Amino acid sequence: MNIGIIAHLKHPIKKPFMGGLEAFTYEITRRLIDKGHQVTLYASEQSDPGLNVHVILSDIDYDRETFSRFRSHELSEDFISTHHAYLELMQDIDGKGHDVLFNNSLNYVPVTMATLIGTPMVTVLHTPPIFEMKRAMSHERKSGKIRYVSVSNSNAVAWQPYLNSCEVVTNGVDMDAWKYIGQPSGRYVIWFGRIHPDKGTHLAIQAARIAGFRIKIAGSIADHHYFQTYVEPLLEGDVDLLGNCQHEELNDLIGNALCSVITPCWEEPFGLVVAESLACGTPVAGIAKGALPYIINSKTGCLTSSCNPAELADCITGAIKLNREDCRQHAEKTLNIKRMADAYERILMDTIEQPGNVPAL
């Protein structure tokens, strides 16, 4: 297949990843290339050149300190630049020779223009419904040209009012890249990811303190106001703030933790941190929002429906007693990136054979 992959443009697609979407786009692009397909990744300038990147947006204004594209933080500038990048791409896309487009942009322009092009498109829904996408999809559903895939059952249900049909392919991680650690050497719990109000870092710190455990925080500060207001005041001797860690270091940190504390404060569509934790053999204590209750089971984690740190502390106490082999086996069976890549390959092939929003049998 000749596949054109449309990336989102908030961050470059390269390691270390700023979030789960960057990791997903990197991995699926690399694996489709490894499967022998001709793949072009339409992304921003600093993306990994090994992914056969065709640059559609300059990264001259991308700030690695604030993880934002414009130092002025002018939403209009960011919005307009992204709009025009996708518009110019889609105007010429039929001339690129692709058999199928694999859209991971989270942007309304590719969806809107799908009705005007001849190349079939598969669009992955990585977020809950957002305003611009809802509008575009409500109009596109009249033609039914796009095939939609969601990363979880809970997210597919949320999008149901705006599309004709939607398949589900659960995200996965590379089981060979995440080392299983059956006997953790640490006496701590871990929280890892982007430090952002959606991720609830402060709740994890409070819960770990109530449960009586040191907590290690690994990840970049994505929202400095949130960090300074809610997280920084909690930083005492029982909290280790580690910043963004390279893969090997993160693997050791997760694998040697008694449990991972995962605290979504929104209806998170998936959350790769769950899969990464279980791949290391580390059980999960968390808040039952979004896809989290569908990803883990009673053998791999303990959840609370509340944002009360005391209840989350009880989950930490329960999670550390779970069998780590069960966690790894569950990840290998349901959260394996090989299974995910095979599923998307089948969907892309089937879309070429039967264009339109018709799920494969």
Q: Tell me: do 286 and 157 sit in the same domain.
A: no
In a domain? residue 182: no
In the block, tokens 């808040």 appear at 287
Q: Tell me: do 264 and 306 sit in the same domain.
A: yes
Mean pLDDT of all residues in the chain?
92
Chain segment 2-16, per-residue pLDDT in tens: 999 999 998 999 987
Q: Which amino acid would we find at residue 322?
A: L
Distances (CA, A) of 156 to 132, 321, 349, 361: 17, 33, 22, 18
In a domain? residue 359: no
In the block, tokens 């930490």 appear at 316
Dist. CA 350–CA 222, nearest whole Å: 38
Q: Tell me: do 329 and 347 sit in the same domain.
A: no
In a domain? residue 105: yes
In the block, tokens 């860690």 appear at 245
| Pair type for strands 53-57 and 100-103 | unpaired
Q: Tell me: do 166 and 22 sit in the same domain.
A: yes
Strand order in the sheet with 100-103: 53-57, 38-44, 2-6, 100-103, 121-125, 146-150, 167-168
| Pair type for strands 167-168 and 188-192 | unpaired
Q: Tell me: do 117 and 250 sit in the same domain.
A: no
Tell me which residue range forms the domain holding 341.
2-172+336-353
In a domain? residue 319: yes
Q: Tell me: do 104 and 248 sit in the same domain.
A: no
* Cβ contact 150:126 at 8 Å: no
Q: Which amino acid would we find at residue 316?
A: I
Q: Tell me: do 308 and 265 sit in the same domain.
A: yes
In a domain? residue 181: no
In a domain? residue 281: yes
Q: How confident is the model at residue 19 (pLDDT cuts 50, 70, 90)?
A: confident
Q: Tell me: do 153 and 209 sit in the same domain.
A: no
Q: Tell me: do 199 and 165 sit in the same domain.
A: no
State both tokens at 81: 């630049």
pLDDT of residue 67: 57
Chain segment 63-117, per-residue pLDDT in tens: 665 556 555 445 577 788 899 999 999 999 999 999 999 999 999 999 999 989 9
In the block, tokens 């993160």 appear at 250
pTM: 0.84
Q: Tell me: do 281 and 268 sit in the same domain.
A: yes
Lowest mean pLDDT among 211-215, 252-256, 267-271: 267-271
Q: Tell me: do 264 and 319 sit in the same domain.
A: yes
Q: Tell me: do 91 and 214 sit in the same domain.
A: no
- What CATH number does residue 273 fall under? 3.40.50.2000
Q: Please return the burial class of 71, using the count of CB atoms within 10 Å of its CB with bins 0-12, 13-18 and 19+.
A: exposed
In a domain? residue 178: no
In a domain? residue 284: yes
Quote the number of domains for the chain: 2
Nearest 5°: CA angle at 120, between 34 and 9? Answer: 65
Q: Which residues contact 327 (CB under 8 A, 6 or more apart)?
A: 277, 278, 280, 281, 282, 283, 299, 300
